Amino acid sequence: MEKDLKQAIRRLAKEKNAIILAHNYQIPEVQDIADLTGDSLALSIQAAQTNADIIVFCGVHFMAETAAILCPNKKVLLPVINAGCAMADMVTAEDLREFKALHRGAPVVTYVNSSAEVKAESYICCTSANAVQVVKSLRCPEVIMTPDKNLAMWTQRHTDQKIHIWEGFCPIHDGLKPEELQRLKEEHPKAVVIAHPECPPAILNMADVVRSTSGMLEFPAKSDAEEFIIATEVGLLYPLQRRYPNKRFYAASSRMVCEEMKKTGLQEVFDALLNEKHQVTVPEEIRLSALSAVERMLAVPRDN
């Protein structure tokens, strides 16, 4: 049954010249049928470079919006239209306008986990992989960072620039308790702890390495360690284990599950392709402003 559905999805994708993208946190079956898996920004950039007519984005709403910002001539579909991101919902364009008025002159650096409207109110975007480089590239004494307070606090540790922090957070990462991680470290004393910068400072203090999901996927290749504790959403364990079958990975907490990322199953992907639903679009004026913020980020040189 699952095999039939997987075959039907691949057949439909071919017929419709569609590309299926899946975020690293999607369920294994969905990652398996995807053309590309990765972090949200990398997926959108790769999508923009293909000649597909349709993009099926297996992820949450802001990711499909980012693809729509970057690929205005493609039909971007989100299989489950109400799959959202609690952190992205913690700041609106109106909130940001008010915050900007409190810190006049400070450019806004917005994490890609945000709505198109919020990106459009921002000077530049960042990801968890490049936040420090993006802030430093601005060469100004003060910046605003939104929506993730943990990513902003992590960035503040690496720059003398003053960061005005919006108090949003990812409930999945922010909820990880130091006691849970400590217990796991004691159970696996040789394991290297890799944490996502959406985790709170107390967790990052206990980590050996802090990386975005794409950085977490790359790190074990460079390490002699055989065991790793992974402090991010549990979905990342699947691509890690697949990529490194001889290494062992432990989830920092079995509670680190983003239900929104798990809403998309094979049936939803099939229905999305068959009925070309649910299309995600961004009004042109907002798209162009949001695109400028994303393009400024893409122009910042990477050093990792």
Binding site for ligand SF4 (CB under 6 A): 60, 85-87, 113, 170, 172, 233, 258, 260-261
Nearer to ligand SF4, 35 or 233 (CB): 233
How far apart are the C-alpha atoms of 5 and 77, rounded to whole Å?
18
Question: CB of residue 113 vs ligand SF4: minimum separation in angstroms?
Answer: 5
Nearer to ligand SF4, 43 or 60 (CB): 60
How far apart are the C-alpha atoms of 211 and 195, rounded to whole Å?
6
Q: Which residue is nearest to ligand 13P (CB)?
A: 39
Q: What does 253 bind: ligand SF4, ligand 13P, none (CB cut-off 5 to 8 Å by kind)? A: none
Question: CB of residue 117 vs ligand 13P: minimum separation in angstroms?
Answer: 18
Question: CB of residue 64 vs ligand SF4: minimum separation in angstroms?
Answer: 12
How far apart are the C-alpha atoms of 191 and 183, rounded to whole Å?
12
Nearer to ligand SF4, 117 or 260 (CB): 260
Distances (CA, A) of 173 to 31, 40, 195: 21, 17, 9
Nearer to ligand 13P, 24 or 156 (CB): 24
Question: CB of residue 172 vs ligand SF4: minimum separation in angstroms?
Answer: 5
Question: CB of residue 16 vs ligand SF4: minimum separation in angstroms?
Answer: 27
H/E stretch holding 182:
helix 178-187
How far apart are the C-alpha atoms of 133 and 297, rounded to whole Å?
9
Question: CB of residue 169 vs ligand SF4: minimum separation in angstroms?
Answer: 9
Distances (CA, A) of 156 to 109, 162, 169: 13, 7, 16
Interacting residue ranges for ligand 13P, rule: CB under 6 A: 24, 39-40, 85, 113, 127-128, 170, 198, 212-213
Asked whether the beta carbons of 196 and 216 are under 8 A apart, the reply is yes
Q: What does 260 bind: ligand 13P, ligand SF4, none (CB cut-off 5 to 8 Å by kind)? A: ligand SF4
How far apart are the C-alpha atoms of 61 and 36, rounded to whole Å?
18
How far apart are the C-alpha atoms of 115 and 119, rounded to whole Å?
6
Question: CB of residue 54 vs ligand SF4: minimum separation in angstroms?
Answer: 23
Q: CB neighbours (10 Å) of residue 248?
A: 15
Asked whether the beta carbons of 287 and 68 are under 8 A apart, the reply is yes
Q: What does 213 bind: ligand SF4, ligand 13P, none (CB cut-off 5 to 8 Å by kind)? A: ligand 13P
Q: What does 86 bind: ligand SF4, ligand 13P, none (CB cut-off 5 to 8 Å by kind)? A: ligand SF4
Q: What does 35 bind: ligand SF4, ligand 13P, none (CB cut-off 5 to 8 Å by kind)? A: none
How far apart are the C-alpha atoms of 146 and 51, rounded to whole Å?
33
Where do the DSSP E strands lie in 65-137?
Answer: 75-77, 108-111, 124-126
Q: What does 128 bind: ligand SF4, ligand 13P, none (CB cut-off 5 to 8 Å by kind)? A: ligand 13P
